[in-house]
């Protein structure tokens, strides 16, 4: 019996442990050392090591399944409670000249599950809106609706990716509806980094890469977006709002799409507050974050401009009637000057190019309703030369984008050279 016990103890003590930490017991010197107390002590050493001190080096990689974890220690459960579902990369259907195209390979997080897919081909039904989702098992789900109808309910354990619209011949529009960033906290974050706009041509504006928040959702655009003002697909409403001498505002949706609308932002935050700086335009029940604006001329083309963070500057200002805010103004007492045709509702400050009407004189500008006598003034002293231009910067505007001016002699014309937006730090 003693030999059997001794053999069992030696096998337990010196065999390579499968899951336990390093075990140390007293080495036997002779049969005289074999007593029940010794065996009990040694067995307790092995038991205590297994029960309370399993070292990670002795745990086989990939052997702890989710079912073995308590909810409090399960990282999937924790991530699902901390963060929203989002698409990390890819999973966007491609456009096509027929009904068949690939959904790109990608990675999404759905209910805390990390879902990875390869490029997947899909043939869509003619004359339908097909809503594309990814579920927790890595399978794409498709819900077909009549073209232009409301968004359907999201299938269980799934994440919305896109809407694919077809006619009788081909895929006509792929609307990117992915949520591409996580949401943090419960309060709106108003910061914007990047997402500057650039005039591309008379019909197109390019929106650069960058990060903005829609409510608490962080939208990270890693590639530029080109918006065509003549294309219905580039508008929140799905209908082109291009027109003569009007503003179009650039918005980022809660799902990360960048689209146009001719309505100015009307809400401060996604809780419905209207006091304070207007960051959002509410279309239906959806809040859309303003990130830019463009001005269309009388021929419905984008007036040339460039942006440097908070400041938008016009090119060749004297060639555009829309930015001319004063034409031979001659009032010798303060009179209104309306800048709303050249300055959007998202601004409260601008700069002027001013031109004297010959014979010299001075031009005074003040905030609308101010009691200042002199205000901000500039002196034009170029005699009979009517091409005398001077620059006046940082002129305050009221909420209607109006100010007041006066001259002491002769007349003066003024153009808005640039304006400063109020929704960017």
pLDDT digits (tens, 9 = 90+) for 90-104: 999 999 999 999 999
Note whether residue 63 is domain-resident.
no
Q: Which domain holds residue 393?
A: 317-421
69 domain-assigned: no
Regarding whether 238 and 332 lie in a shared domain, the answer is: no
Instruction: Check whether 377 has a pLDDT greater than 60.
Output: yes
54 within a domain of the structure (yes/no): yes
Q: Which two tokens stand for residue 342?
A: 């050249």
Q: What is the pLDDT of residue 414?
A: 92
Residue 328 lies in a domain: yes
Q: Give the total number of structural domains in the chain.
A: 4
Rounded-to-integer distance, Cα 403 and Cα 397, Å: 6
Report the range of poorest mean pLDDT among 115-124, 211-220, 293-302.
211-220
Average pLDDT, the chain: 86
Q: 121 and 221 share a domain?
A: no
How large is the average pLDDT for residues 235-249? Answer: 96
Residues in the chain: 425
**Is 101 inside a domain boundary?**
yes
- Answer yes or no: do 155 and 115 share one domain: yes
283 and 199 assigned to the same domain: yes
Same domain, 267 and 343: no
Looking at the structure, tell me whether residues 154 and 209 fall in a common domain. Answer: no
Q: Which helix (H) or strand (E) holds 75?
A: helix 75-82
pLDDT classification of 228: cutoffs 50, 70, 90? very high
Q: How far is CA 414 from CA 319, 321, 335, 339, 404, in A?
A: 12, 11, 14, 10, 12
Percent over 70 (pLDDT), the chain:
85
Same domain for 208 and 163, yes or no, is no
Asked if residue 220 and residue 128 are part of one domain, the reply reads no
pLDDT of residue 9: 46
Residue-level pLDDT at 22: 59
**Cβ–Cβ under 8 Å, residues 160 and 142:** no
- Report the first-to-last Cα separation within the chain, whole angstroms: 83
Predicted local confidence at residue 49, as pLDDT: 66
Say yes or no: 120 and 37 in one domain: no
Using CA atoms of 232, 345, 341, 374 in order, give the dihedral in degrees to the nearest 10: -170
- The rounded percent of the chain whose pLDDT value lies above 90 is 61
Asked if residue 245 has pLDDT above 80, the reply is: yes
Last residue of a domain, one of 176, 204, 233: 176
Asked if pLDDT for residue 179 goes beyond 50, the answer is yes
Six-digit token string for 282 = 């509410």
- The whole-number pLDDT of residue 119 equals 97
Does the pLDDT at position 382 exceed 70?
Answer: no
Residues 285, 375 within the same domain: no
Q: Tell me what the mean pLDDT of segment 122-138 comes to.
A: 97
Domain boundary among 302, 326, 350: 302
pLDDT in tens, 257-270: 999 999 999 999 99
- How far apart, in whole angstroms, are the C-alpha atoms of residue 421 and residue 312? 8
**CA-to-CA distance for 270 and 188, rounded, in angstroms?**
7
- Which of 268, 302, 336 is the endpoint of a domain? 302
Residue 251 belongs to some domain of the structure: yes
Average pLDDT of 184-203? 87
pLDDT tens digits, residue range 383-413? Answer: 555 556 788 999 999 999 999 999 987 888 9
Strand pairing class (247-252; 286-295):
antiparallel
pLDDT at 338: 96
Q: What is the pLDDT of residue 181?
A: 79
In a domain, 79, yes or no: no
pLDDT band at 11 (very low <50, low <70, confident <90, very high): very low
Identify the pLDDT of residue 23.
60
Whether 321 and 289 share a structural domain: no
pLDDT band at 356; cut points 50, 70, 90 = confident
> Does 277 have pLDDT greater than 80?
yes
Q: Read off the DSSP letter of residue 4.
A: H
User: What is the domain-level CATH number for residue 391?
Assistant: 2.60.120
Mean pLDDT of 367-372: 91
pLDDT of residue 4: 45
- Residue 14, pLDDT > 50, answer no
Q: What is the pLDDT of residues 36-58, one digit of tens each?
A: 776 677 777 777 666 666 666 66
């Amino acid at each position: 019996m003693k030999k059997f016990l001794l053999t069992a103890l030696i096998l337990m003590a010196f065999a390579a442990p499968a899951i336990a930490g390093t075990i140390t017991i007293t080495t036997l010197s002779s049969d005289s050392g074999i007593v029940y107390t010794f065996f009990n002590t040694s067995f307790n050493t092995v038991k205590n090591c297994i029960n309370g001190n399993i070292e990670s080096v002795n745990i086989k990689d990939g052997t702890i399944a989710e079912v073995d974890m308590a909810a409090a220690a399960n990282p999937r459960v924790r991530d699902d409670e901390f963060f929203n579902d989002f698409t990390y990369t890819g999973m966007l259907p491609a456009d096509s000249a027929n009904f068949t195209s690939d959904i790109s390979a990608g990675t999404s997080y759905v209910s805390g599950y990390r879902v990875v897919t390869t490029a997947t081909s899909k043939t869509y039904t003619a004359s339908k809106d097909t809503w594309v989702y990814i579920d927790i098992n890595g399978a794409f789900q498709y819900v077909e609706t009549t073209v232009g109808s409301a968004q359907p309910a999201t299938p269980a354990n799934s994440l919305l990716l896109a809407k694919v619209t077809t006619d009788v011949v081909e895929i006509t529009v792929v609307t990117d509806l992915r949520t591409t960033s996580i949401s943090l906290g419960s309060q709106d974050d108003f910061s914007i980094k990047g997402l500057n706009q650039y005039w591309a041509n008379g019909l197109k504006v390019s929106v650069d890469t960058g990060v903005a928040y829609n409510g608490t959702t962080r939208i990270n655009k890693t590639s530029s977006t080109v918006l065509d003002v003549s294309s219905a697909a580039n508008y929140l409403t799905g209908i082109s709002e291009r027109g003569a001498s009007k503003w179009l505002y650039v918005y980022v949706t809660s799902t990360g799409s960048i689209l146009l609308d001719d309505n100015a932002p009307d809400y401060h935050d996604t809780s419905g507050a209207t006091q304070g700086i207007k960051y959002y335009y509410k279309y239906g029940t959806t809040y859309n974050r303003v990130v830019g604006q463009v001005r269309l001329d009388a021929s419905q083309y984008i007036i040339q401009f460039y942006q440097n963070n908070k400041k938008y500057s016009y090119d060749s200002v004297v060639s555009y009637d829309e930015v001319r805010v004063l034409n031979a103004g001659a009032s010798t007492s303060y009179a209104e000057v309306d800048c709303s045709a050249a300055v959007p509702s998202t601004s409260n400050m601008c700069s002027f190019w001013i031109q004297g009407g010959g014979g010299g004189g001075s031009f005074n500008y003040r905030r609308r309703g101010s009691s200042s006598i002199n205000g901000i003034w500039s002196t034009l002293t170029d005699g009979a030369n009517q091409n005398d231009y001077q620059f006046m910067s940082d002129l305050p505007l009221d909420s209607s984008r109006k100010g007041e001016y006066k001259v002491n002699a002769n007349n003066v014309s003024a153009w808005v050279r640039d304006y400063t937006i109020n929704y960017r730090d």
